[in-house]
C-alpha cells in the first residue's frame, strides 16, 4: 500500500519530497515491473523486493532528501501542493492501491510544518489519512533538521488524535496507547552456552491482564511473531528462540524463529490493529546496550525507545540458567537489574588476584587418580581484608575468542585464602605455546590478567611474586 506521502517536502526544501510504500502481508513481494504514477510527470518503474511487514522508500531526485536513511528508489517529478492522485499498479497494470483518489486537496499533511500524510486505515478515504502527529519521527533532512514523518518506519498514527479528524475507531479496533506494552529486555547476544540462544522479554506495565492474541513482534525480516496467550498486570512474557532450553529452568511463554543480528536491527511491537505500541532500537543502528563478550542482555531502563533508555545487564540480580547450566546474563521474566540498587562493595576493587597458573601438568594435581590435561589449573588469591563472593565472576583465556568463559560458582573467598579451578571443570585450555588468562567481575570489568610465553617443562607453573 501507499503508506506515507511527504508532498510538502522537508524543512530543508519543499522540493525534497518522498513517498513510502508498506507491505502489511506475511510474504515478501517482488516489485519489479510495478509502477507508481500520478498520470503525469511522476511515473516510477519500481524494482527490488519489499519484505513482509516492511517498508520501501522513494526519494525525489537524489538520496539526500532524508540524509541518514537510504532510499530504495530515486524518482523525478513533483507532487502538487494543491493535491493530486497517486496510483500503485502491479505488473499486469491492475490498480493495487491509491492515495487521494478523490483528486481534490490532500486529505492530510501540512505545508507549514512539512508534516507528512500518513495512512491509518486500509482504504483510500479521507478518514484513513492523518497528518504526522509529531510523535516518533525518524531521520533528518538535507539540512540536518528532523523529518516530520516516519520514513521506512511505522507511522505515528498511534499519537494524540487531532480534534479535527472524523475517524472514530470501533471498540474492537481501539489502539493500545504507546508504551502500554514494552519490549523490556533483548538478549541479542545469546547466552554463555550459545550465541544462538537468544531470547526476548515483554513487560506489561499496567495493572490489567492483556490478551496478546493477534499482537505481532517483528523486525521486518525473518523475525515475524504472531503472539498468543496473556500477560498479567505488571507481568512478563518470555520468548525463546527455537527451543525451550534457551533458559533451561524458566519456561518460555512462546517460541520463535529468526535471528537477531549482532550488528543491530529494530524490533517493532504492534497491537491487533497493527498500531505501533513499542519498539527496540528504532534508530536501526548498532544495539544501544547489551554485550557479546562476555554476553549480557539489553535492558529497558525507562520510557520511550531512545538509546539512553537502554542499559546492559549489570551482572547482579540475574535469573535462570542456560542450556549448559551457566547463569543467564540477564533477568528473564523478572525485574531488570538496572532497577535494583547497585550492590555496595565490601572490599577495595581488584583485591582478587590470579596467583598461579599451571599449563603443562604431569602429575595428578586434582587428585582424581590420573594425570592428564584436566589437571591444568588457575589459582585465585584474596589479598584484601574482606571476604569476597565469587559468584558470577568469570575466567577467560582469550577475550572474544579461545575457550568459552567459565562462570565461577557461588563460593566465598576469605582474606588470605586461595582457590584453584581445574580445567576438568572450567574447560579452559591453557595453550603450551603461550596464552593469557583474564579474571572478570560480574559487570565484565577486567580485574586481573596474566600472559605467559611458550611452556616446555612439565609441572612448571607461572606464579605471582610474592605469593
Are residues 359 and 330 part of one domain? Answer: no
Q: Sorting pLDDT into bands at 50, 70 and 90, what band is 140?
A: very high
What was the pLDDT predicted at 38?
93
**Distance separating alpha carbons of residues 454 and 354, to the nearest angstrom:** 19
Preceding peptide of 466 cis, ω within 30°? yes
What was the pLDDT predicted at 451?
87
What number of other Cβ atoms are within 10 A of residue 87's Cβ? 17
What is the residue-wise DSSP string for 316-374? Answer: SS---B-TTSPBPSS-TTS--GGGSPPPPPSS-TT-EEEEEEE-S--S-TT-SSS-SGG
What was the pLDDT predicted at 163?
42
What the block records as the C-alpha cell of 344 is 555496595
pLDDT digits (tens, 9 = 90+) for 377-388: 999 999 888 888
Looking at per-residue confidence, does 421 or 175 come out higher?
Answer: 421
**Distance separating alpha carbons of residues 74 and 47, to the nearest angstrom:** 11
Over 80: is that where the pLDDT of 135 sits?
A: no
Are residues 435 and 421 part of one domain? Answer: yes
**Distance separating alpha carbons of residues 118 and 20, to the nearest angstrom:** 9
Are residues 358 and 334 part of one domain? Answer: no
pLDDT digits (tens, 9 = 90+) for 115-130: 999 998 778 999 889 9
Q: Sorting pLDDT into bands at 50, 70 and 90, what band is 368?
A: confident
What was the pLDDT predicted at 264?
94
User: Count of domains in the chain?
Assistant: 3
pLDDT digits (tens, 9 = 90+) for 85-103: 999 999 999 999 999 998 8
Proportion of the chain above pLDDT 70, given as a percent? 92
Q: Sorting pLDDT into bands at 50, 70 and 90, what band is 84?
A: very high
Are residues 118 and 26 part of one domain? Answer: yes
Give the lowest-confidence range in 172-181, 319-328, 433-442. Answer: 172-181
**Distance separating alpha carbons of residues 419 and 170, to the nearest angstrom:** 67
pLDDT digits (tens, 9 = 90+) for 6-34: 999 999 999 999 999 998 876 789 999 99
Which of 315, 343, 371 terminates a domain? The answer is 343
What is the CATH number for 313?
2.60.40.1260
Are residues 315 and 386 part of one domain? Answer: no
Looking at per-residue confidence, does 417 or 284 come out higher?
Answer: 417
Q: Sorting pLDDT into bands at 50, 70 and 90, what band is 400?
A: low
Over 60: is that where the pLDDT of 160 sits?
A: no
Which of 281, 309, 343 terminates a domain? The answer is 343
Are residues 184 and 142 part of one domain? Answer: no
Over 60: is that where the pLDDT of 165 sits?
A: no
What the block records as the C-alpha cell of 106 is 490532500
pLDDT average, residue stretch 231-260: 95
pLDDT average, residue stretch 375-401: 85
Are residues 174 and 145 part of one domain? Answer: no
Are residues 180 and 156 part of one domain? Answer: no
Domain range holding 32?
1-168
Q: Sorting pLDDT into bands at 50, 70 and 90, what band is 162?
A: very low
Give the lowest-confidence range in 3-7, 31-35, 215-219, 406-410. Answer: 406-410
Are residues 153 and 183 part of one domain? Answer: no
Are residues 357 and 337 part of one domain? Answer: no
What was the pLDDT predicted at 174?
62
Q: Measuring CA to CA, which residue among 139, 128, 146, 127 is closest to residue 57?
A: 139
Q: Measuring CA to CA, which residue among 70, 351, 329 is closest to residue 199?
A: 329
Are residues 106 and 233 part of one domain? Answer: no
Over 50: is that where the pLDDT of 241 sits?
A: yes
pLDDT digits (tens, 9 = 90+) for 441-452: 887 788 888 888
Which of 168, 196, 223 terminates a domain? The answer is 168
DSSP strand pairing (236-241 vs 254-256) = parallel
Are residues 359 and 311 part of one domain? Answer: no
Mean pLDDT of the chain: 87
What was the pLDDT predicted at 263?
94
Looking at per-residue confidence, does 241 or 158 come out higher?
Answer: 241
pLDDT digits (tens, 9 = 90+) for 418-430: 999 999 989 898 8
Amino acid at each position: 500500500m501507499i503508506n506515507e506521502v511527504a508532498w510538502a517536502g522537508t524543512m530543508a526544501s519543499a522540493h525534497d519530497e518522498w513517498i513510502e510504500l508498506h507491505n502489511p502481508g506475511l510474504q515478501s513481494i517482488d516489485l519489479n515491473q510495478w509502477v507508481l504514477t500520478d498520470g503525469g510527470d511522476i511515473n516510477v518503474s519500481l524494482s527490488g523486493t519489499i519484505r513482509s511487514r516492511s517498508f520501501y522508500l522513494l526519494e525525489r531526485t537524489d538520496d539526500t532528501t532524508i540524509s541518514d536513511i537510504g532510499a530504495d528508489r530515486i524518482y523525478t517529478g513533483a507532487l502538487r501542493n494543491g493535491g493530486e492522485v497517486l496510483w500503485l499498479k502491479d505488473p499486469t497494470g491492475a490498480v493495487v492501491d491509491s492515495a487521494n483518489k478523490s483528486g481534490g486537496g490532500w486529505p492530510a499533511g501540512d505545508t507549514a510544518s512539512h508534516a507528512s500524510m500518513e495512512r491509518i486505515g486500509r482504504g483510500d478515504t479521507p478518514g484513513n489519512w492523518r497528518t504526522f502527529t509529531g510523535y516518533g519521527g525518524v531521520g533528518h533532512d538535507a539540512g540536518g533538521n528532523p523529518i516530520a514523518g516516519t520514513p521506512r518506519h511505522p507511522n505515528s498514527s498511534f499519537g494524540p488524535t487531532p480534534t479535527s479528524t472524523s475517524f472514530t475507531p470501533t471498540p474492537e479496533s481501539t489502539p493500545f496507547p504507546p508504551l502500554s506494552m514494552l519490549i523490556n529486555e533483548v538478549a541479542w547476544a545469546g547466552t554463555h552456552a550459545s550465541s544462538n540462544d537468544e531470547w526476548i522479554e515483554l513487560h506489561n506495565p499496567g495493572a490489567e491482564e492483556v490478551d496478546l492474541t493477534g499482537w505481532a513482534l517483528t523486525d521486518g525480516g525473518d523475525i515475524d511473531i504472531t503472539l498468543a496467550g496473556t500477560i498479567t498486570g505488571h507481568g512478563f512474557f518470555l520468548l525463546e528462540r527455537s527451543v525451550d532450553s534457551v533458559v533451561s529452568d524458566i519456561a518460555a511463554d512462546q517460541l520463535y524463529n529468526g535471528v537477531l543480528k549482532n550488528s543491530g536491527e529494530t524490533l517493532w511491537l504492534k497491537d491487533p490493529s497493527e498500531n505501533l505500541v513499542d519498539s527496540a532500537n528504532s534508530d536501526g543502528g548498532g544495539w544501544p546496550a547489551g554485550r557479546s563478550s562476555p554476553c549480557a542482555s539489553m535492558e529497558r531502563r525507562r520510557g520511550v525507545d531512545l538509546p539512553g533508555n537502554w542499559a546492559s545487564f549489570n551482572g547482579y540480580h540475574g535469573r535462570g540458567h542456560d542450556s549448559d547450566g551457566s547463569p543467564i546474563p540477564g533477568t528473564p521474566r523478572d525485574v531488570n537489574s538496572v532497577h535494583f540498587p547497585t550492590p555496595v562493595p565490601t572490599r577495595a576493587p581488584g583485591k582478587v588476584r590470579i596467583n598461579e597458573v599451571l599449563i603443562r601438568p604431569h602429575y595428578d594435581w586434582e587428585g582424581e587418580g590420573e594425570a592428564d590435561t584436566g589437571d591444568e589449573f588457575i589459582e585465585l588469591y584474596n589479598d584484601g581484608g574482606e571476604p569476597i563472593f565469587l559468584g558470577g565472576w568469570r575466567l577467560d583465556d582469550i577475550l572474544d575468542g579461545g575457550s568459552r568463559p567459565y562462570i565461577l560458582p557461588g563460593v566465598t573467598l576469605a582474606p588470605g585464602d586461595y582457590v584453584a579451578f581445574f580445567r576438568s571443570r572450567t574447560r579452559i585450555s591453557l595453550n603450551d605455546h603461550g596464552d593469557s588468562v583474564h579474571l572478570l567481575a560480574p559487570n565484565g570489568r577486567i580485574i586481573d590478567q596474566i600472559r605467559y610465553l611458550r611452556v616446555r617443562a612439565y609441572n612448571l607453573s607461572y606464579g605471582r611474586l610474592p605469593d
